[in-house]
Structure 1
Amino acid sequence: MLEPAATMVPIVSLALSDRYIGPAPHSPYVVGIDASGWFEQCQQGKWHRAHAQTGMNPALRTFLFRLSRLARYPVKLVFCYDGEQRPKIKRGHRVSTKDHWMVDPTQRILNVFNMQWLTAAGEAEAQLGLMNRAGVIDAVMTDDSDVFVFGAHTVLRNSTFSTDATIKLYTTSSIQELVEPCLIGDAFTTIAVCCGGDYDKKGLPGCGRETALGLVRCMDTSTLCDAVRGDNSPDQSLQRWRDAARHHLMSDPTGQMGRAHPALACSLPDSFPDLHVIDLYVKPAVTPLVELPVLHSPAPPDLAPLALLIHNLLGWDAKRLVSAFRSTVWPVVVLHEVLEDLAKNSPASDEVSQ
């Protein structure tokens, strides 16, 4: 549904545009990354091939190379991990109360890379959505479009990071311009609840994306969310929403639905939507902005601790370490020393941002 709003952009252009002009200090383009998305992809076969030369911990090796590749661009990366208050059920599966096995080793890798990370109170994507909405970070890197429900306004699609250093970019402004003007704020929650999302895969049976988008055009989308955040009775708010939805589905009186959906209007149950699902979207567990750690300036990796950690985690000998550092780590060191200098000093010209 959001694809018409997507654009492929060079990461360097995105990171440097209007960034290093005028007097210091200069702040880099900050990208918040949902670590759990990387865990899933690093363990998929398409990201690494299991053969005799793979060595120890191929998923961690993939994480290391992906991190090194992205860190070669002039952006500041902030990784966010799920916290203890994350929902117990997601995508129809019970969420383990234990940390994913990749949490500790990847945090150790990030520490020696001097990459900042934080642990959310609940879900990382909700925390990153809050941080993006507040301007703490410039973009969220994820493949989950639910991040728009949590307030994100600039999203980089994680899996589209290509070999030509471009990535797919979505912004709420382009979504409003190219997809639907009313798609903002509570409208994303209505779409997620009706079509099914992370907390309820079924949604409203028989309601597809176009139908849900029609309801967004016709209805006051705040009615649904007010059931959990307003002073009115939740039952009354949900009943008003159901009555309005049935009215528009039955005959499409405004013409905004595109066509009537009488069967769906008659089958809409009084048990829909689930108040708990709305609550998870509207009031997610997040760490308040004032309690978040201050984002520090970019810094190059700590080479000796990094070499020791890679040896311990991946079992690489000295020859392979030197080869990997030459091709993968040294470009990161050089770039971050430049960014460290730019953070404190003004460039002699505007060439950096061009």
Structure 2
Amino acid sequence: MAEYVKDYQIFPLMHQSGHITFTEWCSLFTLCLAPLVAHIAAGFPQPSYLSARHPKWHERIALYNPTSILWRYAVIADRRIRAKAWDRKDMAGTNALFWTSQGWDGSEEMITLSMPHCVHLPPYSRINFYSVEFLKTAIVTLQGIQAIVAIGLALGNGSHRHDGFLTFMGVDLIFFPLAYTGLVRLFCAFWLTDEFAYSISQNGSNGSELRAIATKVDERRISLDGLLHEDLSAPVVKEDRFLPTSYWASRVFRVVFLLPTLLLLVMCLTFIIPFDGSVRFTITALLGALFYFLFLSATLIICGYYLARGHTSTTLPCLASRWYGAYTGILTGMALAIIVVSCIETRRMTCGRWTSAPYSLGDFDAC
């Protein structure tokens, strides 16, 4: 390693943003937060509360970890692959984020157990091309394509390299690579929806009560127009609706799903250990590289482990664990640190782009 990397340099933290105007700051923060907000907001629907006690902030924050969002995409697509008969109930129950007295529950069993509380179902068993969900998918997919192409151009040596991602990124690009989750979303794009609603009963229900309700065929449902044409004759048994995770198509998908994350991790490592033997970082770029290396590595390990073991819950099995909470806290802390440091180091280059590179490096090398 020491012989391979001939030049390793970390530029000291320098305040370079003093000449940025208020309107430019507004534009920079819009570009900075757009990928973060768009992909996290599109990644999870509003929770469906089936318990009188609502989750506290520390019980919700792990949901918005990008690893949790990618896991949800994987399980929704995997369920659709294994479904023997996919209908509106499956689509609603799979997309819903259930909160019960036992915590978050995204198991296949909840598709049946939650039906007494369903007040609205999606109009179709796949998304409508004129729906808001389709528009979300189209937007984040274009952002994902842009991110991968820009990073790929930055790694190349061709004439279009100047159009690629800046190694010495400014505040506008720190969360830009997160847009790749838009491409991962394509795996389950046709079965993502938020056109459903669940309502808690008047006296509340805990996990055991939900299971008791599901066994009563004649239990009156608090259903509205979304259930008028549904067959309510008997509860659906999970094993009858989904093939086992040993199904060959499911196994193939679980391997293929991890490939985009692996590709981006390889790109990240290429920036950290470039082939020309020279490694130079601003503090912004160094924190960014560490952030994405941690996130991508953890995602591959966590999702790969649970996919290999055949877990089928749309919420990560480790979501409520202390170590996953610590991992989420570290990512959040690093994201805040990158924002603060990049706001200090960002400056405009002569070519009009923003960078954290020091003036001494020159704009040609920074671009």
TM over 0.5: no
Structure richer in strand, relative to its length: 1
Higher relative contact order (Cα pairs below 8 Å, separated by 6+ residues): 2
Q: What TM-score results when the alignment is normalised by the length of structure 2? A: 0.27
